[in-house]
Amino acid sequence: MGIRKLGYVGLNVTDVGAWTELLGRTLGIGVTRVSSAAGEVVLAELDEFKYRVALYSSTVDAPREVGWIVDSPRELDRLTGRLTEAGFTVAEATPDERELRGATRLRWFTDPVGYRVELAVGQAKAGTGVARPSGTTGLGHLVLASPKLAELRELYESVLEFELTDYRAPGLFFFRCNAAHHSIALANAETPSIHHLEFEHGSIDDVGRAYDRAKADGAPISISLGRHMNDKAISFYLRNPSGFHLEIGCGGIEVGPDWIPHDFGVSDGATTTPKPTRSPRRNRDQLRPAPERLPRHGHRRGERNRRRRRDPARGTRRARGGVRHRRSRRGAYGRADRRRAAGHRPQRNRRAGRPASTVCAPARTNPPTSVPNTDSWGSRRSSRWKVRPAASPATACARATFARRWSRTSWPTKPQCTG
C-alpha cells in the first residue's frame, strides 16, 4: 500500500488562545509557535515528529488540510497517476509548505467535500529536550462527516487503496492503511465537518491521567471513559473550542490481511447482547440441571407407601424392620394438655364421648400459677404438664408417674378418682 499512516491535520480556528490552553495546560501536550508564509502557526507535538496538529488563526472554524504519509517517491508518483485518472487535479506544494511540514516531497488535491488532502514523503523529527507529560504516542485517526459519503468512499477505497475494516450500515465506514483498526472513518451527515480527532496514548494510565486533568480543569467532557465496540480502544471525548470532539485513547486492536469486514453493530458476537427469549431465571436454569423437586411430605412419588407397608397380621401399618408406627409424643401431649394443667376443664371428654365429671383425674392441691418452660436439664419437652384426665385409674396412675418423673412438682403417688 502506498499510504503508510495519518501524518498531520491542519485546522482553521477562531480562538487560538483557547486551543493553546486546552492542549498545553489541560492535556499536557507540547505547543510551539512558528512563523510561516500563512502567518503565525501553533504546532502541537504529540510524538517524536515535528508536529501532528497545526492551528491557523482564521475567522471560521474548519479543517484546513489532512496530510497522509506515503512510503516512497515512487508510490507518490503512482498515487498521483491514479488520482489523475479518477479526475482529480494534483498540484505540487510550495517550498515553504514543504519546510513547515518537514517533508521532502509534497503534493495535494481537493476532495469531493472541498478539503485539501496532502500526500507527503518523509516527516521531520522534533527537536530534542521537549517534555511530553501527556504520554501521547501520535495521531490515531480522523472521522469526517459529510453529505457526500459515496464520493468519499470511492476516493479512499478505490483510488487511494484504503481497506474497509468495519461498518455500521448505512452511514458509518471505517478504513485502514496499516495494521491499526482504522485511520479514517467516514460518516453520513447533513453538513461537512470533523466529527472527532484522536490523540493516541501509550497506556491506560496516560489516558486516566489526562481524564483527571481534564476534569480538574473543567474541560467539557462529552463522553466519559469507556471501551469501543469495534476496535476495543479505551478512551474519552472532550469538546474543543472549535466545536468538534477530541478523543484521548489507547489500546486499539490491530488487524491483518485476513480480516473480514463486517457490521460491528450486528455481527460482533463478543459485544452484542443477544435478544432474550425467556426470563433471566429460566436462562440461568438452562445452564445447570434443576434440583429435584419433592412433594410436600418430603418423599418421592410412591416412596412413602413403599417404606410404610401394612402388617397382614395386625392390620396396621408398620415401618421397615417390623417396628409399629406410633404417634409422636409431641402430638399426644400438646396445647390441650397445657390448658388442662393451667386449670381449664373441658365440658366433655372428646375421646370417651361422656361428660368430664365422670372422667378420673388426679386430685391436686394448690395448682401452680405458672407452667415452667424448662426443667433442671434444660429440656423443653420434659417441662410440659403431662397430666390430663384419664379414662381409667390405671391410665391416670401411669400418666401421674410420668409427670412426677419429668416435672418439678410433686404429685401423689396414687391419684384419687371421683367416679
Cα 261 from Cα 246, distance rounded (Å): 26
Give the per-residue pLDDT at 297: 54
For residue 397, the model assigns a pLDDT of 73
Strand partners, 144: 186, 194
Task: Specify whether the CB–CB gap between 154 and 111 falls below 8 A.
Answer: no
Residue-range domains of the chain with CATH? 3-253 (3.10.180.10), 360-419 (no CATH)
For 2, 165, 262, the CA distances from 256, given in Å and listed in that order, are 17, 10, 14
pLDDT along the chain (419 residues), means of 10: 89 95 90 88 87 93 95 94 96 93 94 95 68 63 95 95 91 93 94 93 91 93 91 94 94 91 64 44 51 55 51 51 47 64 61 48 48 47 48 72 62 52
Whether 164 contacts 158, CB under 8 Å = no
